[in-house]
Chains A and B, each alone.
Chain A
Amino acid sequence: MNSIILLTTFGILNLFVGFRKSNKLVLPLVFLFLVVVLLANFYDWNNTQTYFEQMLTVDNFAVAFTAVVVLTTILVVPFAKRYADEQNESLAEFFSILLFSLVGAIMMVAYENLIMLFVGIEILSISMYVLAGSDKKNLKSNEAGLKYFLMGSFASGILLFGIVLIYGATGTFAIAEINSVATTGSADALTSPLLAMGLLFTLIGISFKLSAAPFHFWTPDVYEGTPTLFTAFMSTVVKTAGFGGFYKLMSVSFAGAYDIWFPTLVAMTVITLAIGNIGAVAQNSFKRMMAYSSISHAGYLMIALLSFNDRSENAIFFYSLAYSVATVAAFGILKIVSDQRDDISYNAFNGLGRTNPLLAAVMTISMCSLAGIPLTGGFFGKLFIFSAALEQNILWLIIVAIIMSMVGIYYYFRVVIAMYMREPSGDRLKVDSSASFALIFIAVLTLILGIFPGLFSDIL
């Protein structure tokens, strides 16, 4: 709860900074705010409390996922230095929106009541609609904002409809009570069409936010049009919070209905993996590749959800952490490269290993992590997910996932090849010290996750 209160207060405070019309203060201040939030968040560790008539619970689960989203945001901030230098007139507002959106993300992992889940999703989504269109002079950004908004509000409607149907079937919004009605109440509650439809509509609404197929169509266009910095935020924070919330919903409310949602979700997982990975291969733009890659990672996370055993929770947490950190680095470097070379294709990275060894090294580590190669966090993320699924005896799904991982290596390594094995296409890029520092931190963290996974693998 500390984090929600602090974020709200800081968001408002930050707006006042915007009145000064000087951007020098904004980034250091936001950075400071977020660090304070991250530290205050840990105060709630092992100290479970419920709020608002038991509509929100801050337990270790919520604290852990809050830590991931806040940490991710902290890592995004240093890459915004250029906005500050260019005197972007609405910088303070953007970062206030970012802070507010985190409140939504936290509510999505701390809710005890479907209404809170919906409110959380909306807080996060509406912020994202604004940020997607924040590059006002860029036609693509406008398109992204509008597209995301239209599709997103449509999905919200479906989600709300689903929640209402669940209410109709069970007579409650509280997720724990839904469970008791669904499993121990009347015997036919589980098989009632009302509940099944509600579950399905909720699934669709959430899948849209996670960019899981077949509700992923907005992803490439929106990612491409959104300013890179906010794409980084969108692909990590929204997904992490979404999966945290999704897992909580399924494990608390619908654990008894596993057999009902398993076939639907398993089918979605397979097509998500296939569309994400195969779609990424066909891209020539690095940014669009990352969009498809983000779809594919939703697929891997869904495997953990499908395994649905005592390993799933930790697997989702670890994977989200490893994925978020690596993705922020990839988008951060893309921002540096594309700002100066005015190109978002793979060619923009040519020869980066020669001109900017640090950028290339961190990018390589991130790509290895996303591809799931040992020494990096991504490897153990995948290992934990595969272990969870094997324990549940869904071997065939893992084989599909493995084949898709191989495809993944192909497109992730295209950028590594461009960086190290092709001739430079420009001069040395300027990287400011805050971004360099963030990148080094990310690289070290990814390696720590990959060499000492035990530190984070069993905290929930």
Chain B
Amino acid sequence: MSNLTLYLLLWPTIAGILILFLKGQSAKRTAFGAALIEFFMAILAMIQYEPNAYRQFTFDHTWIENFGINFSIGMDGISLLLVFLTTFLVPLIILSSFPHSYKNPNVFYALILFMQTGLIGVFTSFDAFLFYFFWEVALIPIYFIAGIWGGERRILITFKFFLYTIIGSLFMLVGFVYLYFQTPGTHTSDINAFYQLNLSATDQSWIFWFLFIAFAIKMPVFPFHTWQPDTYTESPTQATMLLSGIMLKMGIYGVIRWLLPVVPKGVSQWDTLVVVLAIIGIVYGAIIAIRQSDLKRLVAFSSISHVGLIAAGIFTLTEHGMQGGIIQMLSHGINVVGLFFIIDIIYRRTHTREIANLGGITQTTPALSIFFLILLLGTVALPLTNGFVGEFLLLSGVYQYNNWMGAIAGLTIILGAVYMLRMFQGVMFGEQNNVTATFHDLTRLEKAVLIPLVIMVFWIGLHPNTFMSLTEPTVGHLLGIINR
């Protein structure tokens, strides 16, 4: 099974192509089965993974021979964790779509699986052009998912999202091509060759921006976020989950893997600015979230706030910040997918996402209330839940970097509690009205989606070492390269 990465990459594609030929609603069950198999492969990789060895399950093959471009994939700790996150969430996202009956289900589910290939490719590529390739492969399916099955204003909004991200990626491409030509001898786009480059500070400075813009748009970091709330709101819930749960991690991952170690001098010129932008994003996202009346928009803005903290933490270049960022990627993915699913449940039963129209749901739904509350507390970083671990490390990283910035970033805890509890209060407590009076509790299927998520909330919260020990050597290794 040494080619595990390759299997992980190929399986969703093959399954997706097969699903294209299925008729009717059987596509969703097949897709779910395929995604589960993928998840078990990822578990197998986690069991076999040896944390102290650098890159494993590698597969190298020449791709474009005379250009020195290789199809080289593999996993280190960070890759593995994100592959785990992807393969864990995709089956749940597919399962969460079962109550919906989308038109052309075969295409819908095939696109989700194609996107999974792209995502896993991004997280396991160790060649710049391969990384770029998968980066775009992940984008195209989600564009179609959001554009075809989305809400009323979908055409304009998903197109805006598409253009935004493509613009970023093209800059990244130029950066990569430039770096490629700086490699000695017959050029190569291998990641280690990029790490060993010793570029002048001026070069690094502009390459930094070329790469950063691509990653910043994907995350999104303030002020590159303007596509995000609209896209999250207009997309079908499954696409929103994919975007927020997994796709935005591509941006953070890109920073960790392809930005910090490649242009460390560029980073040292601009890190303060980025941290400041990220902190503005934290406060700005949270304040706007407080003002939202639409549940999906509220969570979208809260996501800007949380991602801002992750970005700030990573750019401090401290071990706390990096480790916190990585573990928070996992936690945020789990929490945000759970929250969007609960919003989807509420929307399906009441056909509204306006907080003002809801209320009193707790009276008929003990199970939903509990799950909702757990996910919510995970999001606001209550100790013993998953959010706490990451947020604590991130804040201590930012604090080490600069006391004042740490203090401002710390506002996220207070503001997060404000908008989350306000949302919970408005939706779940208070008087029932004619929309919510007939609200029934979770079905078995819905529980099946939420239980794994909640288990993960506690698992990460109570025993973060399961995951942190996987990434620790890799983070040390990368920090070694960055600080050389």
Chain A contacts to B: CB under 8 angstroms: 353, 368, 373-375, 379-380, 383, 386-387, 390-391, 395, 398-399, 402, 405-406, 409-410, 413, 417, 420-422, 453-454, 457-458
- B449 → chain A closest CB, angstroms: 28
B59 at the interface (CB under 8 A from A): no
Q: Contacts of A399 on B, CB cut-off 8 Å?
A: 174
Interface, chain B (partner A; CB < 8 A): 62-67, 129, 132-133, 136-137, 140, 144, 147-148, 154-155, 159, 162-163, 166-167, 170-171, 173-174, 177-178, 180-181
Cross-chain contact B144 with A454 (CB below 8 angstroms): no
In the bound complex, how far is the Cα of B138 from the Cα of A375, in angstroms?
A: 11
Q: Enumerate chain B residues within 8 angstroms of A413, measured Cβ to Cβ.
A: 159, 162
| CB–CB B147/A421 < 8 A | yes
Determine if B66 and A458 form an interchain contact, defined as CB atoms under 8 angstroms apart. yes
Determine whether the beta carbon of B174 is less than 8 Å from that of A402. Answer: yes
Do A383 and B173 touch across chains, with their CB atoms under 8 A apart?
yes
Known: A406-B163, A453-B64, A454-B65. A368 touches B140 (CB 8 A): yes
Tell me, in angstroms, the Cα distance from A433 to B129 when the chains sit together.
Answer: 38
Q: How many A-B residue pairs have CB under 8 A?
A: 72
Residues in chain B near residue A406, CB distance under 8 A: 163, 166-167, 170
A368→B136 CA distance, assembly (Å) = 11
Tell me which residues across on chain B come within 8 A of A353, comparing CB atoms: 148
Least CB distance, A269 to chain B, in whole angstroms? 17
Residue from the list A373, A398, A421 in contact with B140, Cβ < 8 A? A373
A391-B181 contact in complex given A374-B137, A402-B171, A457-B64, C-beta closer than 8 Å: yes
Contact A387 B180 (CB under 8 A): yes
Partner of B136, one of A374, A405, A453: A374
A410 touching B133, Cβ below 8 Å: no
**In-complex Cβ contact of B177 among A380, A387, A421, A422 (8 A):** A387
A421-B155 in contact given A409-B163, A454-B65 (Cβ < 8 Å): yes
Give, as a whole number of angstroms, the nearest-CB distance from B253 to chain A: 18
Inter-chain CA distance A368–B171, complex, in Å, is 18
Bound CA span A458–B140, Å: 28
Pairs across A and B, CB under 8 Å, 18 listed: A374-B136, A374-B137, A375-B133, A383-B173, A383-B177, A390-B174, A398-B174, A402-B170, A402-B171, A406-B163, A406-B167, A406-B170, A409-B166, A421-B155, A422-B155, A454-B62, A454-B65, A454-B67
B159 contacts A417, CB within 8 Å? yes
A410 and B163 form a contact (CB under 8 A)? yes
Contacts of A395 in B (CB 8 A): 174, 178
Give CA–CA (A407, B339) in the complex, Å.
36
Complex alpha-carbon distance, A413 and B161, angstroms = 13
Q: Would B144 and A405 count as touching, CB distance under 8 A?
A: no
Write out the residue numbers on chain A whose beta carbons fall within 8 Å of the beta carbon of B170: 402, 405-406
Are B181 and A420 in contact (CB-based, < 8 A)? Answer: no
Residues in A whose Cβ lies below 8 Å from that of B137: 374-375
For the complex, what is the distance from the CA of A117 to the CA of B207, rounded to whole Å? 44
The answer to whether A387 and B181 touch (CB under 8 A), given A406-B163, A417-B147, is yes
A365 → chain B, closest Cβ, in Å? 11
A406-B166, A417-B155 are known; give 11 further A-B pairs, CB within 8 A.
Answer: A375-B133, A375-B140, A383-B173, A386-B173, A390-B174, A390-B177, A399-B174, A420-B144, A420-B148, A421-B154, A421-B155
| Beta-carbon nearest neighbor of B170 in chain A | A402
| Closest Cβ–Cβ distance, residue B19 to chain A (whole Å) | 15
Residues of A within 8 A of B173 (CB): 383, 386, 402
Tell me the nearest residue of chain B to A375, going by C-beta.
B137
- Which residues of A sit under 8 angstroms from B129, Cβ to Cβ? 383
Chain B: minimal CB distance from A373 (Å): 6
Docked-complex contact B63 and A454, CB < 8 angstroms: yes
Residues of chain A within 8 A (CB-CB) of B66 are: 454, 457-458
